Every structure is written in C-alpha cells, then in structure tokens.
Amino acid sequence: MSLMRLTILASALLTSLAGTAQSQTTLRIGIAEDPDILDPSIGRTYVGRIVFSAFCDKLFDIDEKLNIVPQLALSYETSADGKAMTIKLRPNVKFHDGEPLDAEAAKFSIERHMTLPTSFRKSELASVDHVEVVDPLTIKLVLKTPYSPLITQLTDRSGMMVSPKAAKEAGDKFGLHPVCAGPYKFVERVQQDRMVFEKFADYWNKDNIHIDRIVFQPIVDATVRLANLKSGALDLIERVLATDIKDVRADPRLVLSTAPELGYQGLTINIANDKAKGPLSQSAKVRQALSLSIDREAINQVVFNGEFTPGNQWVSPTHPYYQKSFPVPGRDIAKAKALLKEAGVSLPVTIDYMVPKGTEYEAVAQVVQSMAAEAGFGIKIRAVEFATTFKQPRPANSRCFRSPGAAGSIPTAIPTSSCAARRRRMTEVIPTQTPTSCWKRGERHPTSTSARRSTPS
C-alpha cells in the first residue's frame, strides 16, 4: 500500500481572494520540480498535481478539512449493492475550447483514463467496468465489485475532465496543449522555465476567481526558490526547507503556512526479496531492536529543526485513524541490545541502507546510523539518485530503504508541509485576508479488502 499524496493547490487561497483587484494581477508560484506532461491520464508527478489544480477541474474535490465536496459534479449516489455510482453533473460547464461538459464528455474522459494505452489511471479505475450515460447530465459508473475508495480517486486526476474534441485531435500529445474545464486555461509552457495560464472567462465559478494570470516557475534549489520569494520575483513557493522555516518566520514580508502531512517518512525493510536472508529480514526481534534504537524526536530536532512530528504509524498522532494504544516508542538501547541478544545474531548486524540523494534524506540516514550503532547495528548508507531507487529495492540489492511511506516500514516522522507567500503583495490582492493554507496533502481511503468492499454511508 502506498499513500497517495493528493494536492489541493491553493484552492483555499485562490477562492478566498476577495475580489478587489482592479488591474491585471499575476500570481507567480515557485514549484520545486518541472512537472511531466500535463495530461491527467498520463501525468504522474506530485508537482504536476499542483499545476493541474489551476486548469483542470475534477468531478469532486477535497476541502480544507478533507471532506469530499462536489466540483464538476453536483452529487453522487451509490447503489444499495455498491456496484453502481450515479453522478449528477453540474450544468452549463464549458471546456476551454467552448465545448460543453455533458454526460458524453464525462464518459469520454473516464473511458480515456481507463483505455489510453499509456494511462496511469488504469489501476485507480480498475474497479470500473463501464460508464453509462443516463441523461445529458448524469452518468453511471458500473463497477465490477463494490469499491468505496473510488470516490476519492475522482477527487484526483482520475476525476479530471478533458475536452473530447481536443483529446481526440491530439491523442497522447494532448498534454502539450491541454484543454480542460478549470478556472485557468493553458497559454504556454517552456520546458523547465515556466507554465503560463490565464483566467477562463466562461469558467463555471468565475465569480470566485480574482487573479488574471498564474505563472508556475520550476526552481529546483530550495534556497534559490526562497531567494526569489524574498526578492519579489515570486509570490508563493512550495516546499520550504525545514531549516529555512525560522528565517521565513522572522521575515515580516512573508507569510508561512504549515500543515502536518498525511504521508510519513520511514525506513522500509526489504523482507520478501532478501536473498541473503540477513537477520533484519528474518527476525522480527532484530527489526524491533532497530526501531527501539532510534530516537525519533532527536531526528526531528537535529535534521528538521523540530518542525516535523515524530511518528510511528502511517498517520500523524493527531489523525483520527491514529491508534492511540500504540504510542510513539521512546529510545531504549538496553532493550534493543537485549532483543538482539535474544535473537542470537552476531554483532554488529550489518544493514545496507539505501537513501535517495538529498541533504535532508542523507542527514536522516546519518542520524539513524549513529543511533543504531549504539545498539549493535552497522549501517552502511548508500545514497543513490532517485531513478535508481525505483529499480533497486526490488531485487535483493538493498535490505533497507528510506521511503516516503510504504508497507512494512518503520515510520519515523510526519513531515510538515510548508509553503510561504509574500505578505505585501498578497495583501494588495486580498485586503483583509492572508492565505491560511497553501495546499494540503490528502489520503486515499484505507485500501484493505474489508474497507474496499464496504460502501460509503
């Protein structure tokens, strides 16, 4: 199971911009990477979702409290047996090319997600057998089996609607000139430089859109991103380094927004593919010892300036799903040593620990390495670049892997999402409000079999 990171980019921000701006306004947003193709069927990057939210509306959305709310749909109903979902569409919605968003268009979009050969939405919509048009503004998703998480899939790229006319003409090149039904329409993209969007005059919710243009600029280096914000070249940035947060807070011109993420950072142990049958993969006691040797709060203080939340489960301790009967364990070296002794392993227990390259990732690995050494672990850190991490953990190359969240792992920290905006500029646009949230990350519903088969109430 992997946690999906959903993005609501500045939906709170954009919709709260009380409309007093007289002249043409441009919001320049610094993002941490250059997204891949801007096609909701093929796009797969995290940062891509931030950009999609500006121009590609979905059937449903998630509000600040993570409630599922209608967007291009008005409502939905699930049949008693859970095998059909009927969705009522919002009337009078137009795509950026003037084509109407009706049931035929919605059916086309979902079927495109399901059938385009290179679509990455196939598994998200795997429960859907086919789509039926009930009336011009109603569609019915007929499911193979009841699948309650489907509604959350429709709040992400699987729920994004594309203009059938434009998509048919462009095929898998649609993402070069995407045509959706969002608040902004695509103007131009210069790879690795900028993506420009301008206000769509016929947007269904145009009264709540008060910024004329949005420019996304990928700036990889976090320090440079922040420097751009400080110099006024950008109005909003995402992913502020934990070590920069203090500096941002101290700057009266900037507003910082933070929110605990729903994802987690942890240490994933390769149990099934360890051909060498090392003690870490074979003995639960050794894994418990490793967990006990780590002081999560120390990692938080040393690497993340105390901005993250120590964690031991797949959600943060403040989350409703957090199991309070299993609190974050403290560090207990004596117990860890005793467990290793009980397991009868020879010391030191060597571990090959793979981490993606990056200051914060490598720093966490070094802190874990030195703490675990005291209990009797010999951790060898292997920093590899991101593309290699996809390939390596599968075979037995690695015994341990730092991951943003996956099954069989020891969660260590709940990251804090943070972004910063320029106060002066923002208050020019919003006289009374400052943004309280830039984006939050959501979650997929629990995907255990029992949860999947239940129908939403």
Scanning residues 64 to 123, which ones bind other proteins (CB under 8 A)?
117-120, 122-123
Of the two residues 206 and 391, which places its CB atom closer to other proteins in the complex? Answer: 391
Asked if residue 269 lies in contact with residue 392, where contact means CB atoms within 8 angstroms, the answer is no
State whether residue 68 is helix, strand or coil. Answer: strand
Among 1, 18, 201, 233, binds other proteins (CB under 8 A): 233
Q: How many helices (H) and strands (E) does the chain have?
A: 15, 21
Which of these segments, 37-45, 101-109, 301-309, 373-381, binds other proteins (CB under 8 A)?
Answer: 37-45
Of the two residues 305 and 392, which places its CB atom closer to other proteins in the complex? Answer: 392
Of the two residues 113 and 287, which places its CB atom closer to other proteins in the complex? Answer: 113
Of the two residues 170 and 298, which places its CB atom closer to other proteins in the complex? Answer: 170
Which of these segments, 155-163, 167-175, 338-346, 439-447, binds other proteins (CB under 8 A)?
Answer: 167-175
- For 279, 308, 320, 335, 442, the CA distances from 260, given in Å and listed in that order, are 34, 8, 13, 31, 11
What's the CA gap between 354 and 392, in Å, rounded?
Answer: 9
Among 12, 16, 32, 36, binds other proteins (CB under 8 A): 36
Please state, as a whole number, how many other Cβ atoms lie within 10 Å of the Cβ of residue 138.
Answer: 18
Scanning residues 118 to 157, which ones bind other proteins (CB under 8 A)?
118-120, 122-123
Q: Which residues pair with 203 in a beta bridge?
A: none
Asked if residue 415 lies in contact with residue 239, where contact means CB atoms within 8 angstroms, the answer is no
Coarse DSSP helix, strand, coil percentages of the chain, rounded to the nearest 5 percent: 30, 25, 45
Binding to other proteins by residue 177, rule CB under 8 A? no
Nearest-CA neighbor of 218 among 237, 239, 192, 190? 192
Tell me how long the chain is. 457
Asked if residue 51 lies in contact with residue 216, where contact means CB atoms within 8 angstroms, the answer is yes
Which of these segments, 89-97, 173-181, 201-209, 429-437, binds other proteins (CB under 8 A)?
Answer: 173-181
Binding to other proteins by residue 384, rule CB under 8 A? yes
What's the CA gap between 259 and 423, in Å, rounded?
Answer: 19
CB of 390 to other proteins, least distance (A): 5
Of the two residues 394 and 453, which places its CB atom closer to other proteins in the complex? Answer: 394
CB of 128 to other proteins, least distance (A): 14
Of the two residues 207 and 385, which places its CB atom closer to other proteins in the complex? Answer: 385
Catalog residues that contact other proteins under the rule CB under 8 A.
Answer: 2, 4, 34, 36-37, 42, 44-45, 117-120, 122-123, 172-173, 175-176, 190-194, 217-221, 223-224, 227-228, 230-233, 384-388, 390-392
